[in-house]
Amino acid sequence: MVGQISGKRGLIFLFIGMAALSGCIIGPENGTSVLRERIRNRIITSNLNHPALGATGHLVRWNTPIKVNTNNIARADAAIDRYGRLTNGLIYFTKTTDTPTNGIVFIEGGSRNADGSPGCGNVTNTPEPSVYVSYTFDNSYALNGLYYVHLGSTACGDAQEGNYPSAIAEHELGHVLGIMSHFSGFTGNEGLRNSNMFAVIYNMYSNPIGSKAEDLNIEIVAVPSG
Ligand SMILES: [Zn+2]
């Protein structure tokens, strides 16, 4: 009697176990591979195949650490700190008070929209307001050159306009780091805390510079709090 009950239980457990097992594998695994493809495609569209980076078919990004002068702008400092913290040091910066040959300088104000009107944040190659920026990289596909991130203007307080005070600074920094086009979660006001943006920038920096599309190894990473 006891033996029979045990046997039946065993069978029932086995059946439930298999059903649960296949449920677990098929459900999340499909979702994960869809998400992984979405991240890969966003990286390919906004970096490897983007004309602003020469559409090289290779991953174009900075070597770390990246030199940055925040000019003591609090939300620029907060943005730099958040990149280092949320990526656990994968993307990190060396702060400088001068103008680096290769690196980033934050500027208070002077941001321009594409049509030249005052905007919330943009990237230029000059300390003066401009609607133009060009990106350069070396033979290894490592970004180089000098980039100015303009924060806010007479028409926009970026600290108020962003989802949180440093969010627009983090968005513009995302452009300098190699994200050339916008996508859901990276449209302007969202910062690094957005899971879509975080996934793209994290995987751009966890893969080797110069990687081809088929070599991109995409990790699913949760955004740490902070
Ligand atoms: Zn943008």
Locate the domains of the chain by residue range. 53-215
* CB-count burial class (<10 Å; 0-12, 13-18, 19+) for 100: middle
How confident is the model over 165-188, as a mean pLDDT? Answer: 98
* pLDDT of 167 over the 70 cut: yes
- Angstrom CA distances, 143 to 49, 91, 105, 146, 219, stand at 15, 14, 15, 10, 23
DSSP type of residue 157: -
pLDDT surpassing 90 at residue 52: yes
Percentage of residues of the chain with pLDDT beyond 90: 85
Cα separation of 95 and 71, whole Å?
A: 10
pLDDT at 69 over 50: yes
How far is the centre of ligand 1, averaged over its atoms, from the C-alpha of 189 (Å)? 9
Q: For the domain 53-215, what is the CATH code?
A: 3.40.390
pTM over 0.85: yes
Secondary structure, 3-state, 54-80? CCCCECCECCCCEEEECCCCHHHHHHH
Model confidence over 83-109: pLDDT tens digits?
999 999 999 999 999 999 999 999 999
Q: Residue 41 and residue 57: Cα distance in Å, rounded?
A: 12
pLDDT at 161: 97
Ligand 1 center to 111 CA (angstroms)? 12
Q: What's the 171 CA to ligand 1 centre distance in angstroms?
A: 6
pLDDT at residue 81 tops 80: yes
Dihedral pair phi/psi, residue 118, rounded to 5° = -60, 135
Nearest to 153 by CA among 187, 109, 108, 94: 109
At 16 the pLDDT is: 35
Tell me the CA–centroid distance for residue 29 and ligand 1, in Å.
32
Q: Please give the pLDDT value at position 225.
A: 87
pLDDT at 31: 81
Contact 201, 64 (CB under 8 A): no
Radius of gyration of the chain (CA): 22
For residue 30, pLDDT beyond 90:
no
pLDDT at 12 over 80: no
Report the separation in Å between the CA atom of 18 and the middle of ligand 1, taken as the mean of its atom positions: 47
Dist. CA 144 → ligand 1 center (Å)? 20
